[in-house]
Amino acid sequence: MIGLKDAIPIDALFDDNLNHNPSFDCRQALADAQVIIGIDVMSGHPFIVYGRDAVKRIAADKAAAAVPMLVISLDQATGELEKLVALVRVVKGRHDYQPRAPGDPLV
């Protein structure tokens, strides 16, 4: 199960001017990740930001295949989700974020 303890806080990705954080340049980690999961700090609910097809393949095989994954914590009630989606779009060329209700399956 994915939890907040596994996540990188979104604030670690940016400096005060919304540029990449010079002490942790996340662009390579984002580029390498086949799956990027967001997790809302208020509710604890995870959601797919990138890699929906990979998650579906893993779920269909019923196997926890080892894929490079990045988990980022954020507050969906603020603009942090939009910042993450924009960053993923820049690095990956697209995103797979789709709003979902709590309790809906991740895929």
- What is the reported pLDDT for 13? 81
Per-residue pLDDT tens over the stretch 91-106 = 999 999 998 766 676 6
Cα(54)–Cα(52) distance, integer angstroms: 5
pLDDT tens digits, residue range 40-69? 999 888 999 999 998 888 888 765 567 889
Kindly report the number of other CB atoms within 10 A of residue 83's CB atom. 15
Instruction: Round to whole Å and give the CA distance between 10 and 82.
Output: 11
Residue 107 lies in a domain: no
pLDDT in tens, 23-41: 667 788 899 999 999 999 9
Number of domains in the chain: 1
- pLDDT of 102: 63
Confirm whether 103 is domain-assigned: no
Domain of residue 24 covers 4-92
Q: Is residue 41 part of a domain?
A: yes
Tell me, yes or no, whether 68 lies in a domain.
yes
Neighbouring C-beta atoms of residue 26, cutoff 10 Å: 19
Residue 63's pLDDT is what? 58
Say if 97 falls within a structural domain. no
- Three-state secondary structure call for residue 92: helix
Whether 102 is covered by a domain: the verdict is: no
Q: Is residue 23 part of a domain?
A: yes
Domain contains 82: yes
Do 2 and 71 contact (CB within 8 A), yes or no? yes
Residues in the chain: 107
